[in-house]
Structures are given as C-alpha cells and as structure tokens.
C-alpha cells in the first residue's frame, strides 16, 4: 500500500531544499503524496520571523500544480504548542489504520529525536525516514532505533509504522 509522507517544519523561509527533499524521498519511497506541514512555533526553536499566514501562502504557491506535494496547515489552527505526536495521532485517525505514514526528517532533526515529546510513540505509529545532509556523517539512531533501521523501501509499505529508513538520497547542499 502506498504511504503518505509528512515533512514538517517552520519553513521560514521555504526554500528549494525543502521541496527537493520532499520530491526525492517521495519518489524513492513510492509515496502517494508528501504533505508539507508548517508548524506555528516549535517548542525547541526560536519563533519564526514570518507570520504563519505568509509561510502557509508560500507553501501553497510552491506546490500549485504539483502532483506529489500537498499543503496541510492543520497545526497552524491548533491552540498552544504543537508537537509531532499530536500530528501523528491526528493523521492516524484520518488515514486507513494500515496505511503507512512516513515522517521525513533531516539528519539534524533526527539527531535530537529522542528528546522529542513521546518519541517512542511517534516511532511506533509512523516510519522515520532520515535523509543525511550532503557532506555530513551518517545519522546516529541510538540502540533502540538502530534495531529498526533499514535501507529497504519495501519494508515501509508492509507496516503502518515502526521502521527507521536511512534514505539513499539526501537534499541538496542548501538551506
């Protein structure tokens, strides 16, 4: 079954690296779609400079006419802090229970993943797809997540979540 990819972030500013990464991973994994999900203000970063409505509008303009990429602005409508576990739970309710859900992460985000709220629950309910940055060392998964590491994209189609996929392609060397 084709999965759904999710690339979350502040997108302040949105740049070609975000779009290129979403396309490359979407093709590599054979995803039905990749949802770009802007967050209002992540709890682990400084507030974005651009207002949420501008960042959302930039995403809509960037994906217009794109067959793979979709914009999902639900987090911008939620009150208070937004956490990845909330997004995963909301998407799990919306999707067919067995449909694969793939969280697309850069190696830099993955490096701090075990510090995220309810990271174990996230990693059971969704696959983690990790893309290394060009010229950066391979991402470290830690013992608990390393046991679920794979480079076989077929594994991501046979379960709704739980694998850690080390992507063959990364994004371009821009940010």
Q: What is the pLDDT of residue 139?
A: 67
Beta strands, E only, 72-155: 101-106, 127-131, 149-150
Over 60: is that where the pLDDT of 172 sits? no
Calpha distance 99→67 (Å, rounded): 19
Residue 117 tokens read as 């709220």
| Nearest by Cα to 119 from 153, 148, 99, 80 | 148
Which has more confidence, 133 or 39? 39
Q: Side by side, which strands form the sheet with 149-150? A: 69-71, 33-38, 4-9, 101-106, 127-131, 164-166, 149-150
Q: What is the pTM of this model?
A: 0.92
Q: What is the pLDDT of residue 136?
A: 64
Share of the chain above pLDDT 90, in %: 70
Over residues 20-78, the pLDDT tens digits come to 999 999 999 999 999 999 998 877 788 889 999 999 999 999 999 999 999 999 999 99
Over 90: is that where the pLDDT of 15 sits? yes
């Amino acid at each position: 079954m084709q999965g759904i990819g999710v690339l979350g972030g502040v997108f302040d500013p949105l740049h070609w690296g975000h779009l290129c990464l979403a396309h490359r991973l979407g093709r590599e994994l054979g995803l039905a779609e990749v949802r770009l999900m802007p967050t209002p203000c992540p709890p682990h970063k400084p507030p974005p400079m651009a207002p949420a409505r501008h960042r959302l509008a930039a995403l809509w303009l960037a994906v217009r006419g794109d067959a793979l990429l979709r914009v999902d602005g639900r987090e911008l409508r939620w009150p208070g802090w937004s956490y990845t576990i909330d997004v995963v739970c909301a998407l799990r309710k919306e999707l067919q229970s067995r449909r694969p859900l793939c969280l697309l992460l850069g190696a830099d985000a993955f490096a701090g993943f075990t510090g995220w709220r309810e990271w174990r629950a996230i990693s059971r309910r969704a696959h983690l797809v990790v893309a290394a940055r060009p010229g950066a060392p391979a991402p470290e998964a830690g013992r608990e997540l390393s046991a679920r590491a794979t480079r076989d994209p077929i594994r991501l189609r046979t379960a709704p979540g739980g694998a850690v996929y080390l992507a063959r392609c990364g994004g371009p060397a821009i940010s």
